[in-house]
Amino acid sequence: MSKIWSKKPMSAYENDIKNNQMKKVLGKWSLTAIGIGAIIGGGIFVLTGTGAYYHAGPALALSFVIAGIACIFAALCYSEFSSILPVEGSAYAYAYGTIGEIFAWIIGWGLILEYAMGSMTVAVSWSGYFNKLLKMFGLHLPAYLTSDPASYTGEGFAINLPAFLIVIFVTSLLIRGTKEAAKANNLIVMMKVAAVIFVIVAGLFFIHTEYWDPFIPPAAMVREGDTMKEAYGIQGIISGAAAIFFAYVGFDAVSTQAGEAINPKKDVPFAIITSLLVCTLLYILVSLVLTGMMHYSDFDPYGKYPDAIKAPVAYAFEIAGQSWASYIITIAATVGLISVLMVMMMGQSRIFLGMSKDGLIPKMFSELNTKTKTPSKNIMLLGGVIATVAALTPISKLADMCSFGTLFAFTMVCIAVWVLRVKSPNLERTFKVPALPVIASCGILINTYLMYKLSDDAKLMSLIWLGIGLVIYFLYSRKHSRLQKGDYESETLKMEQDPLDFKHKI
Protein backbone atom coordinates (compact mmCIF):
# COMPACT_ATOMS: atom_id res chain seq x y z
CA MET A 1 0.00 0.00 0.00
CA SER A 2 2.91 2.37 0.57
CA LYS A 3 3.57 2.29 -3.18
CA ILE A 4 0.39 4.24 -3.88
CA TRP A 5 2.26 7.31 -2.56
CA SER A 6 5.12 6.82 -5.06
CA LYS A 7 5.91 9.94 -7.08
CA LYS A 8 6.54 10.16 -10.79
CA PRO A 9 10.25 11.08 -11.19
CA MET A 10 11.18 14.41 -12.75
CA SER A 11 13.23 12.52 -15.36
CA ALA A 12 9.97 10.94 -16.57
CA TYR A 13 8.46 14.40 -17.07
CA GLU A 14 11.58 15.44 -18.99
CA ASN A 15 11.11 12.42 -21.24
CA ASP A 16 7.44 13.36 -21.77
CA ILE A 17 8.43 16.90 -22.77
CA LYS A 18 11.29 15.84 -25.08
CA ASN A 19 9.26 13.15 -26.81
CA ASN A 20 5.95 14.98 -27.02
CA GLN A 21 4.39 14.14 -30.41
CA MET A 22 1.67 16.79 -30.27
CA LYS A 23 1.98 19.84 -32.51
CA LYS A 24 3.29 22.97 -30.74
CA VAL A 25 0.99 25.55 -32.29
CA LEU A 26 -0.22 27.73 -29.37
CA GLY A 27 1.44 31.09 -28.65
CA LYS A 28 0.95 33.48 -25.73
CA TRP A 29 -2.18 35.14 -27.05
CA SER A 30 -3.76 31.92 -28.33
CA LEU A 31 -3.35 30.48 -24.82
CA THR A 32 -4.85 33.65 -23.31
CA ALA A 33 -7.77 33.37 -25.75
CA ILE A 34 -8.30 29.77 -24.62
CA GLY A 35 -8.55 31.00 -21.02
CA ILE A 36 -10.91 33.86 -21.89
CA GLY A 37 -12.85 31.57 -24.20
CA ALA A 38 -13.60 29.19 -21.35
CA ILE A 39 -14.17 31.79 -18.63
CA ILE A 40 -16.49 34.10 -20.59
CA GLY A 41 -19.51 31.96 -21.20
CA GLY A 42 -21.80 30.33 -18.69
CA GLY A 43 -20.75 32.73 -15.93
CA ILE A 44 -21.90 35.85 -17.75
CA PHE A 45 -24.59 34.60 -20.09
CA VAL A 46 -26.32 32.09 -17.79
CA LEU A 47 -25.16 31.90 -14.17
CA THR A 48 -25.75 35.61 -13.58
CA GLY A 49 -29.48 34.77 -13.56
CA THR A 50 -29.30 31.73 -11.30
CA GLY A 51 -26.75 33.46 -9.03
CA ALA A 52 -28.92 36.54 -8.60
CA TYR A 53 -32.19 34.70 -7.95
CA TYR A 54 -31.09 31.63 -6.01
CA HIS A 55 -28.23 33.17 -4.04
CA ALA A 56 -27.19 36.81 -3.73
CA GLY A 57 -29.56 39.24 -5.48
CA PRO A 58 -27.76 42.47 -6.53
CA ALA A 59 -24.84 41.44 -4.28
CA LEU A 60 -23.94 38.86 -6.92
CA ALA A 61 -21.14 41.28 -7.83
CA LEU A 62 -19.63 40.57 -4.40
CA SER A 63 -19.93 36.82 -5.09
CA PHE A 64 -17.82 37.32 -8.21
CA VAL A 65 -15.30 39.33 -6.19
CA ILE A 66 -14.96 36.53 -3.63
CA ALA A 67 -14.72 33.85 -6.32
CA GLY A 68 -12.16 35.94 -8.21
CA ILE A 69 -9.98 36.38 -5.11
CA ALA A 70 -10.10 32.64 -4.44
CA CYS A 71 -9.12 32.05 -8.06
CA ILE A 72 -6.17 34.44 -7.91
CA PHE A 73 -4.56 32.41 -5.12
CA ALA A 74 -5.02 29.19 -7.11
CA ALA A 75 -3.95 30.85 -10.38
CA LEU A 76 -0.62 31.93 -8.90
CA CYS A 77 0.01 28.36 -7.72
CA TYR A 78 -0.96 26.97 -11.13
CA SER A 79 1.44 29.43 -12.76
CA GLU A 80 4.40 28.26 -10.69
CA PHE A 81 3.62 24.63 -11.42
CA SER A 82 3.23 25.23 -15.16
CA SER A 83 6.64 26.93 -15.24
CA ILE A 84 8.20 23.79 -13.71
CA LEU A 85 6.22 21.07 -15.49
CA PRO A 86 4.96 22.31 -18.88
CA VAL A 87 3.00 19.14 -19.67
CA GLU A 88 -0.63 18.26 -20.35
CA GLY A 89 -2.63 16.99 -17.39
CA SER A 90 -2.91 20.18 -15.34
CA ALA A 91 -3.22 19.68 -11.57
CA TYR A 92 -3.12 15.89 -12.01
CA ALA A 93 0.38 16.02 -13.51
CA TYR A 94 1.58 18.50 -10.88
CA ALA A 95 0.44 16.30 -7.99
CA TYR A 96 1.89 13.13 -9.50
CA GLY A 97 5.42 14.49 -9.31
CA THR A 98 5.11 16.13 -5.88
CA ILE A 99 2.82 14.20 -3.53
CA GLY A 100 2.15 10.77 -4.99
CA GLU A 101 0.09 8.59 -7.28
CA ILE A 102 -3.03 8.15 -5.15
CA PHE A 103 -3.22 11.90 -4.55
CA ALA A 104 -2.74 12.55 -8.28
CA TRP A 105 -5.45 10.03 -9.14
CA ILE A 106 -7.95 11.71 -6.81
CA ILE A 107 -7.17 15.09 -8.38
CA GLY A 108 -7.40 13.65 -11.90
CA TRP A 109 -10.73 12.03 -11.07
CA GLY A 110 -11.92 15.37 -9.65
CA LEU A 111 -10.79 17.16 -12.83
CA ILE A 112 -12.85 14.70 -14.88
CA LEU A 113 -15.84 15.79 -12.79
CA GLU A 114 -14.91 19.46 -13.27
CA TYR A 115 -14.54 19.37 -17.04
CA ALA A 116 -17.24 16.85 -17.85
CA MET A 117 -19.86 18.59 -15.72
CA GLY A 118 -18.67 21.97 -17.00
CA SER A 119 -19.07 20.83 -20.60
CA MET A 120 -22.54 19.47 -19.88
CA THR A 121 -23.58 22.69 -18.12
CA VAL A 122 -22.43 24.80 -21.04
CA ALA A 123 -24.23 22.53 -23.51
CA VAL A 124 -27.49 22.97 -21.59
CA SER A 125 -26.85 26.73 -21.39
CA TRP A 126 -26.26 26.87 -25.14
CA SER A 127 -29.55 25.08 -25.69
CA GLY A 128 -31.38 27.79 -23.71
CA TYR A 129 -29.90 30.58 -25.82
CA PHE A 130 -30.39 28.67 -29.08
CA ASN A 131 -34.05 28.13 -28.23
CA LYS A 132 -34.35 31.83 -27.42
CA LEU A 133 -32.77 32.69 -30.79
CA LEU A 134 -35.21 30.47 -32.68
CA LYS A 135 -38.18 32.09 -30.93
CA MET A 136 -36.93 35.53 -32.00
CA PHE A 137 -37.29 34.41 -35.59
CA GLY A 138 -40.71 32.85 -35.01
CA LEU A 139 -39.54 29.26 -34.74
CA HIS A 140 -40.69 27.15 -31.80
CA LEU A 141 -39.32 23.72 -30.95
CA PRO A 142 -41.63 21.43 -28.95
CA ALA A 143 -40.96 21.51 -25.21
CA TYR A 144 -40.19 17.79 -25.12
CA LEU A 145 -37.24 18.41 -27.48
CA THR A 146 -35.70 21.25 -25.42
CA SER A 147 -36.14 19.97 -21.84
CA ASP A 148 -34.50 17.30 -19.75
CA PRO A 149 -36.87 14.65 -18.31
CA ALA A 150 -36.66 16.09 -14.75
CA SER A 151 -37.66 19.60 -15.84
CA TYR A 152 -40.31 18.61 -18.39
CA THR A 153 -43.82 19.26 -17.09
CA GLY A 154 -45.70 17.50 -19.88
CA GLU A 155 -46.41 13.84 -20.45
CA GLY A 156 -44.15 11.35 -22.16
CA PHE A 157 -40.42 11.31 -22.85
CA ALA A 158 -38.33 14.49 -23.09
CA ILE A 159 -34.79 15.21 -24.29
CA ASN A 160 -32.71 18.35 -24.67
CA LEU A 161 -31.93 17.77 -28.33
CA PRO A 162 -30.05 21.05 -29.02
CA ALA A 163 -27.66 20.31 -26.11
CA PHE A 164 -26.99 16.87 -27.57
CA LEU A 165 -26.36 18.15 -31.09
CA ILE A 166 -24.02 21.01 -30.12
CA VAL A 167 -21.72 18.58 -28.29
CA ILE A 168 -21.57 16.35 -31.37
CA PHE A 169 -20.75 19.41 -33.52
CA VAL A 170 -17.92 20.57 -31.20
CA THR A 171 -16.56 17.01 -31.05
CA SER A 172 -16.26 17.00 -34.85
CA LEU A 173 -14.35 20.33 -34.71
CA LEU A 174 -11.87 19.11 -32.10
CA ILE A 175 -11.07 15.96 -34.01
CA ARG A 176 -9.85 18.06 -36.95
CA GLY A 177 -6.86 19.42 -34.99
CA THR A 178 -5.74 21.85 -32.27
CA LYS A 179 -4.59 24.58 -34.66
CA GLU A 180 -7.94 24.67 -36.45
CA ALA A 181 -9.85 24.63 -33.15
CA ALA A 182 -7.66 27.45 -31.77
CA LYS A 183 -8.33 29.62 -34.84
CA ALA A 184 -12.07 29.16 -34.43
CA ASN A 185 -11.78 29.91 -30.71
CA ASN A 186 -9.79 33.12 -31.30
CA LEU A 187 -12.48 34.44 -33.64
CA ILE A 188 -15.31 33.58 -31.27
CA VAL A 189 -13.48 35.09 -28.28
CA MET A 190 -13.07 38.44 -30.04
CA MET A 191 -16.78 38.48 -30.76
CA LYS A 192 -17.66 37.50 -27.18
CA VAL A 193 -15.51 40.18 -25.58
CA ALA A 194 -17.06 42.78 -27.91
CA ALA A 195 -20.54 41.56 -26.92
CA VAL A 196 -19.75 41.73 -23.19
CA ILE A 197 -18.40 45.27 -23.51
CA PHE A 198 -21.56 46.14 -25.46
CA VAL A 199 -23.73 44.76 -22.62
CA ILE A 200 -21.86 46.86 -20.05
CA VAL A 201 -21.95 50.11 -22.03
CA ALA A 202 -25.49 49.80 -23.45
CA GLY A 203 -26.91 48.48 -20.18
CA LEU A 204 -25.76 51.58 -18.26
CA PHE A 205 -28.58 53.56 -19.92
CA PHE A 206 -31.29 51.23 -18.58
CA ILE A 207 -30.23 50.77 -14.97
CA HIS A 208 -32.86 51.34 -12.26
CA THR A 209 -30.87 52.13 -9.12
CA GLU A 210 -33.86 51.21 -6.95
CA TYR A 211 -33.30 47.57 -8.01
CA TRP A 212 -30.05 47.70 -6.02
CA ASP A 213 -31.90 48.65 -2.82
CA PRO A 214 -31.26 46.72 -0.69
CA PHE A 215 -27.97 45.71 -2.31
CA ILE A 216 -27.77 42.69 0.03
CA PRO A 217 -31.37 41.42 0.35
CA PRO A 218 -32.42 39.92 3.71
CA ALA A 219 -32.34 36.14 3.98
CA ALA A 220 -35.40 34.46 2.47
CA MET A 221 -36.58 31.11 1.13
CA VAL A 222 -36.91 30.53 -2.62
CA ARG A 223 -38.34 27.62 -4.55
CA GLU A 224 -35.99 25.35 -6.50
CA GLY A 225 -37.78 22.45 -8.09
CA ASP A 226 -39.87 20.69 -5.46
CA THR A 227 -37.91 22.08 -2.51
CA MET A 228 -37.33 25.41 -0.78
CA LYS A 229 -33.83 26.73 -0.15
CA GLU A 230 -32.39 29.64 1.81
CA ALA A 231 -31.06 32.55 -0.22
CA TYR A 232 -29.69 36.10 0.11
CA GLY A 233 -27.96 37.79 3.02
CA ILE A 234 -24.24 37.24 3.70
CA GLN A 235 -24.64 33.48 3.40
CA GLY A 236 -26.25 33.97 0.00
CA ILE A 237 -23.22 35.93 -1.21
CA ILE A 238 -20.89 33.14 -0.12
CA SER A 239 -23.05 30.33 -1.53
CA GLY A 240 -23.33 32.39 -4.73
CA ALA A 241 -19.53 32.53 -4.96
CA ALA A 242 -19.42 28.74 -4.61
CA ALA A 243 -22.17 28.17 -7.17
CA ILE A 244 -20.67 30.42 -9.87
CA PHE A 245 -17.16 29.11 -9.32
CA PHE A 246 -17.30 26.78 -12.29
CA ALA A 247 -17.31 29.88 -14.52
CA TYR A 248 -13.62 30.34 -13.66
CA VAL A 249 -12.51 26.95 -14.90
CA GLY A 250 -10.98 28.59 -17.98
CA PHE A 251 -7.57 29.38 -16.57
CA ASP A 252 -7.19 25.76 -15.50
CA ALA A 253 -7.90 24.81 -19.12
CA VAL A 254 -4.85 26.85 -20.18
CA SER A 255 -2.56 24.56 -18.19
CA THR A 256 -4.00 21.47 -19.91
CA GLN A 257 -2.70 22.80 -23.26
CA ALA A 258 0.94 23.12 -22.14
CA GLY A 259 1.94 20.17 -24.32
CA GLU A 260 0.88 22.13 -27.42
CA ALA A 261 2.29 25.52 -26.34
CA ILE A 262 5.28 26.97 -28.23
CA ASN A 263 6.95 28.40 -25.09
CA PRO A 264 4.97 26.87 -22.20
CA LYS A 265 7.22 27.89 -19.29
CA LYS A 266 6.64 31.59 -19.94
CA ASP A 267 3.41 31.75 -21.92
CA VAL A 268 1.20 29.50 -19.78
CA PRO A 269 1.68 31.53 -16.55
CA PHE A 270 1.07 34.76 -18.53
CA ALA A 271 -2.12 33.39 -20.10
CA ILE A 272 -3.47 32.03 -16.79
CA ILE A 273 -3.13 35.31 -14.89
CA THR A 274 -4.14 37.62 -17.77
CA SER A 275 -7.30 35.70 -18.65
CA LEU A 276 -8.36 35.55 -15.00
CA LEU A 277 -7.90 39.28 -14.30
CA VAL A 278 -9.67 40.40 -17.49
CA CYS A 279 -12.65 38.10 -17.01
CA THR A 280 -13.12 38.80 -13.29
CA LEU A 281 -13.47 42.52 -14.03
CA LEU A 282 -15.98 41.84 -16.82
CA TYR A 283 -18.00 39.50 -14.58
CA ILE A 284 -18.33 42.10 -11.84
CA LEU A 285 -19.43 44.85 -14.24
CA VAL A 286 -21.96 42.66 -16.07
CA SER A 287 -23.55 41.40 -12.82
CA LEU A 288 -23.98 45.00 -11.63
CA VAL A 289 -25.56 46.08 -14.91
CA LEU A 290 -27.84 43.04 -15.11
CA THR A 291 -29.26 43.36 -11.57
CA GLY A 292 -29.72 47.08 -12.22
CA MET A 293 -31.68 46.47 -15.42
CA MET A 294 -33.93 43.71 -14.05
CA HIS A 295 -35.00 43.08 -10.47
CA TYR A 296 -33.39 39.92 -9.15
CA SER A 297 -36.79 38.48 -8.14
CA ASP A 298 -37.89 38.56 -11.80
CA PHE A 299 -35.46 35.75 -12.61
CA ASP A 300 -37.88 33.39 -10.85
CA PRO A 301 -38.36 30.40 -13.22
CA TYR A 302 -41.89 30.04 -11.81
CA GLY A 303 -42.76 33.74 -12.16
CA LYS A 304 -43.87 36.00 -15.02
CA TYR A 305 -40.58 35.56 -16.95
CA PRO A 306 -39.99 31.78 -16.66
CA ASP A 307 -37.33 31.68 -19.40
CA ALA A 308 -35.34 34.64 -18.08
CA ILE A 309 -33.15 32.46 -15.88
CA LYS A 310 -31.96 30.51 -18.94
CA ALA A 311 -30.94 33.60 -20.94
CA PRO A 312 -30.83 36.43 -18.35
CA VAL A 313 -28.81 39.04 -20.23
CA ALA A 314 -30.91 38.84 -23.39
CA TYR A 315 -34.18 38.97 -21.42
CA ALA A 316 -33.01 41.99 -19.41
CA PHE A 317 -32.66 44.02 -22.62
CA GLU A 318 -35.90 42.65 -24.01
CA ILE A 319 -37.82 43.66 -20.90
CA ALA A 320 -36.17 47.09 -21.13
CA GLY A 321 -37.80 47.44 -24.55
CA GLN A 322 -34.53 47.04 -26.47
CA SER A 323 -35.33 44.01 -28.60
CA TRP A 324 -32.61 44.94 -31.09
CA ALA A 325 -30.00 44.59 -28.34
CA SER A 326 -31.53 41.30 -27.28
CA TYR A 327 -30.95 39.98 -30.81
CA ILE A 328 -27.26 40.95 -30.69
CA ILE A 329 -26.72 39.41 -27.25
CA THR A 330 -28.58 36.21 -28.05
CA ILE A 331 -26.59 35.66 -31.24
CA ALA A 332 -23.30 36.46 -29.46
CA ALA A 333 -24.12 34.15 -26.54
CA THR A 334 -25.26 31.34 -28.82
CA VAL A 335 -22.04 31.47 -30.84
CA GLY A 336 -19.85 32.38 -27.83
CA LEU A 337 -20.85 29.43 -25.69
CA ILE A 338 -19.54 27.14 -28.43
CA SER A 339 -15.97 28.21 -27.62
CA VAL A 340 -16.51 27.50 -23.91
CA LEU A 341 -17.66 24.00 -24.73
CA MET A 342 -14.76 23.60 -27.14
CA VAL A 343 -12.12 24.58 -24.57
CA MET A 344 -13.61 22.44 -21.80
CA MET A 345 -13.80 19.35 -23.97
CA MET A 346 -10.27 20.01 -25.23
CA GLY A 347 -9.01 20.32 -21.63
CA GLN A 348 -10.81 17.14 -20.59
CA SER A 349 -9.30 15.15 -23.43
CA ARG A 350 -5.78 16.32 -22.50
CA ILE A 351 -6.25 15.26 -18.89
CA PHE A 352 -7.34 11.83 -20.14
CA LEU A 353 -4.25 11.85 -22.37
CA GLY A 354 -1.90 12.49 -19.42
CA MET A 355 -3.55 9.85 -17.22
CA SER A 356 -3.49 7.31 -20.03
CA LYS A 357 0.22 7.89 -20.70
CA ASP A 358 0.85 6.98 -17.06
CA GLY A 359 -1.22 3.79 -17.42
CA LEU A 360 -3.95 4.84 -14.96
CA ILE A 361 -6.69 4.64 -17.59
CA PRO A 362 -6.77 2.53 -20.80
CA LYS A 363 -4.18 3.12 -23.50
CA MET A 364 -6.75 4.13 -26.12
CA PHE A 365 -7.09 7.54 -24.43
CA SER A 366 -3.49 8.43 -25.33
CA GLU A 367 -3.52 7.20 -28.92
CA LEU A 368 -2.98 10.12 -31.32
CA ASN A 369 -4.42 10.44 -34.80
CA THR A 370 -1.46 10.11 -37.19
CA LYS A 371 -2.63 13.05 -39.32
CA THR A 372 -4.02 15.63 -36.86
CA LYS A 373 -1.91 14.59 -33.82
CA THR A 374 -5.02 14.82 -31.62
CA PRO A 375 -6.40 12.06 -29.33
CA SER A 376 -9.39 11.49 -31.62
CA LYS A 377 -10.70 8.27 -30.00
CA ASN A 378 -10.49 10.00 -26.64
CA ILE A 379 -12.47 13.01 -27.94
CA MET A 380 -15.16 10.90 -29.63
CA LEU A 381 -15.86 8.83 -26.52
CA LEU A 382 -15.89 11.94 -24.36
CA GLY A 383 -18.25 13.71 -26.76
CA GLY A 384 -20.70 10.81 -26.74
CA VAL A 385 -20.91 10.70 -22.93
CA ILE A 386 -21.22 14.49 -22.52
CA ALA A 387 -23.88 14.76 -25.24
CA THR A 388 -26.01 12.04 -23.66
CA VAL A 389 -25.86 13.35 -20.08
CA ALA A 390 -26.38 16.99 -21.15
CA ALA A 391 -29.54 15.96 -22.98
CA LEU A 392 -31.03 14.35 -19.87
CA THR A 393 -29.89 16.36 -16.80
CA PRO A 394 -31.02 19.69 -15.18
CA ILE A 395 -28.51 22.56 -15.33
CA SER A 396 -28.49 23.42 -11.60
CA LYS A 397 -27.24 19.95 -10.58
CA LEU A 398 -24.54 19.99 -13.24
CA ALA A 399 -23.21 23.45 -12.30
CA ASP A 400 -22.88 22.67 -8.59
CA MET A 401 -21.06 19.38 -9.21
CA CYS A 402 -18.70 21.16 -11.60
CA SER A 403 -17.98 23.79 -8.94
CA PHE A 404 -17.07 21.02 -6.49
CA GLY A 405 -14.59 19.52 -8.96
CA THR A 406 -13.05 22.92 -9.67
CA LEU A 407 -12.71 23.92 -6.01
CA PHE A 408 -11.28 20.52 -5.11
CA ALA A 409 -8.62 20.73 -7.84
CA PHE A 410 -7.68 24.28 -6.84
CA THR A 411 -7.28 23.27 -3.21
CA MET A 412 -5.05 20.36 -4.13
CA VAL A 413 -2.84 22.54 -6.34
CA CYS A 414 -2.31 25.04 -3.53
CA ILE A 415 -1.20 22.17 -1.27
CA ALA A 416 1.01 20.52 -3.91
CA VAL A 417 2.92 23.66 -4.95
CA TRP A 418 3.75 24.36 -1.30
CA VAL A 419 4.96 20.78 -0.81
CA LEU A 420 7.16 20.97 -3.90
CA ARG A 421 8.68 24.30 -2.83
CA VAL A 422 9.70 22.71 0.51
CA LYS A 423 10.89 19.37 -0.89
CA SER A 424 12.57 20.60 -4.09
CA PRO A 425 13.52 24.26 -3.60
CA ASN A 426 16.26 24.14 -6.26
CA LEU A 427 14.05 23.25 -9.23
CA GLU A 428 14.11 25.81 -12.02
CA ARG A 429 11.06 28.07 -11.74
CA THR A 430 10.53 30.78 -14.37
CA PHE A 431 7.60 31.99 -12.23
CA LYS A 432 7.52 31.90 -8.41
CA VAL A 433 4.52 32.64 -6.20
CA PRO A 434 5.35 35.57 -3.91
CA ALA A 435 4.79 34.90 -0.19
CA LEU A 436 3.85 31.31 -1.00
CA PRO A 437 2.87 30.20 2.55
CA VAL A 438 0.36 33.07 2.76
CA ILE A 439 -1.00 32.66 -0.78
CA ALA A 440 -1.27 28.87 -0.56
CA SER A 441 -2.90 28.99 2.89
CA CYS A 442 -5.50 31.53 1.70
CA GLY A 443 -6.22 29.44 -1.38
CA ILE A 444 -6.67 26.26 0.66
CA LEU A 445 -8.95 27.89 3.24
CA ILE A 446 -11.16 29.83 0.82
CA ASN A 447 -11.60 27.00 -1.67
CA THR A 448 -12.35 24.48 1.08
CA TYR A 449 -14.92 26.81 2.63
CA LEU A 450 -16.62 27.41 -0.73
CA MET A 451 -16.80 23.64 -1.25
CA TYR A 452 -18.56 23.38 2.11
CA LYS A 453 -21.09 26.03 1.03
CA LEU A 454 -22.23 24.10 -2.04
CA SER A 455 -25.63 22.40 -1.97
CA ASP A 456 -25.89 19.17 0.01
CA ASP A 457 -26.95 17.26 -3.11
CA ALA A 458 -23.88 18.45 -5.02
CA LYS A 459 -21.56 17.53 -2.16
CA LEU A 460 -23.13 14.09 -1.78
CA MET A 461 -23.01 13.29 -5.51
CA SER A 462 -19.43 14.60 -5.76
CA LEU A 463 -18.27 12.49 -2.81
CA ILE A 464 -19.93 9.45 -4.39
CA TRP A 465 -18.03 10.27 -7.57
CA LEU A 466 -14.73 10.41 -5.67
CA GLY A 467 -15.60 7.11 -3.97
CA ILE A 468 -16.21 5.48 -7.35
CA GLY A 469 -12.83 6.85 -8.45
CA LEU A 470 -11.05 5.16 -5.54
CA VAL A 471 -12.69 1.83 -6.38
CA ILE A 472 -11.52 2.13 -10.01
CA TYR A 473 -8.01 3.04 -8.86
CA PHE A 474 -7.60 -0.06 -6.67
CA LEU A 475 -9.30 -2.42 -9.14
CA TYR A 476 -7.64 -1.16 -12.34
CA SER A 477 -5.29 1.83 -12.19
CA ARG A 478 -2.87 0.60 -9.52
CA LYS A 479 -2.33 -2.67 -11.42
CA HIS A 480 -1.68 -0.94 -14.76
CA SER A 481 0.29 2.06 -13.50
CA ARG A 482 3.60 2.47 -15.34
CA LEU A 483 5.09 3.89 -12.17
CA GLN A 484 4.08 0.82 -10.14
CA LYS A 485 5.52 -1.46 -12.85
CA GLY A 486 8.85 0.36 -12.73
CA ASP A 487 8.64 1.54 -16.36
CA TYR A 488 9.87 5.04 -15.58
CA GLU A 489 12.93 3.82 -13.69
CA SER A 490 13.92 1.46 -16.52
CA GLU A 491 13.38 4.18 -19.14
CA THR A 492 15.52 6.63 -17.22
CA LEU A 493 18.30 4.05 -16.85
CA LYS A 494 18.13 3.20 -20.56
CA MET A 495 18.29 6.88 -21.54
CA GLU A 496 21.38 7.39 -19.38
CA GLN A 497 23.11 4.37 -20.94
CA ASP A 498 22.23 5.02 -24.58
CA PRO A 499 20.29 8.27 -25.04
CA LEU A 500 20.32 8.20 -28.86
CA ASP A 501 18.94 4.65 -29.06
CA PHE A 502 16.34 5.45 -26.42
CA LYS A 503 15.16 8.53 -28.29
CA HIS A 504 14.93 6.55 -31.55
CA LYS A 505 12.75 3.89 -29.94
CA ILE A 506 10.46 6.48 -28.34
> How far is the C-alpha of 493 from the C-alpha of 506, rounded, in Å?
14
Q: Does residue 499 lie in a domain region? A: no
Give me the domain span that covers residue 475.
2-494
Tell me how many domains the chain contains.
Answer: 1
Does the residue 505 lie in any domain?
no
Q: How far is CA 495 from the centre of its chain?
A: 37
For residue 304, the tally of other CB atoms under 10 A from its CB is 8
Q: What is the CATH number of the domain that holds 377?
A: 1.20.1740.10
Distance CA(134)–CA(146), nearest Å, equals 12
Kindly state whether residue 500 falls inside one of the protein's structural domains: no
pLDDT value of position 437: 92
User: Is 506 contained in some domain?
Assistant: no
List the chain pLDDT tens, one digit each, 506 residues: 667 778 888 778 777 777 666 677 788 888 888 888 778 866 677 778 888 888 888 999 999 998 888 888 888 888 888 787 777 667 788 888 878 898 889 888 888 877 887 788 788 888 888 888 888 888 888 888 888 777 777 777 888 899 999 999 999 888 887 777 777 777 888 888 888 898 899 999 999 999 999 999 998 888 776 778 888 999 889 888 877 776 776 677 787 777 778 888 888 888 888 988 888 899 899 999 999 999 998 888 877 877 777 778 888 888 888 888 878 888 888 888 888 888 888 888 888 888 888 899 998 888 887 777 778 888 899 899 999 988 887 665 666 666 777 788 888 888 888 888 888 888 888 888 999 999 999 999 988 888 887 778 778 888 888 899 999 999 999 999 988 888 776 555 454 444 434 344 33
Give pLDDT, residue 502: 36
502 falls within a domain: no
Distances from the Cα of 295 to the Cα of 125, 155, 300, angstroms: 21, 33, 10
- What does 58-85 look like in DSSP terms, one character per residue? GGHHHHHHHHHHHHHHHHHHHHHHHHH-
| DSSP 8-state assignment for residue 218 | P
Q: How do beta strands 220-224 and 227-231 pair?
A: antiparallel
What is the value of pTM for the model shown? 0.76
Displacement of CA 241 from its chain's centroid (Å): 15
213 in any annotated domain: yes
Long-range contacts of 442-445 (CB under 8 A, 24+ apart): 442/73, 443/70, 443/73, 443/74, 443/77, 443/410, 443/411, 443/413, 443/414, 444/411, 444/414, 444/415
Indicate whether 388 belongs to any domain: yes
Residue 21, pLDDT score: 67
Q: For residue 131, is it within any domain?
A: yes
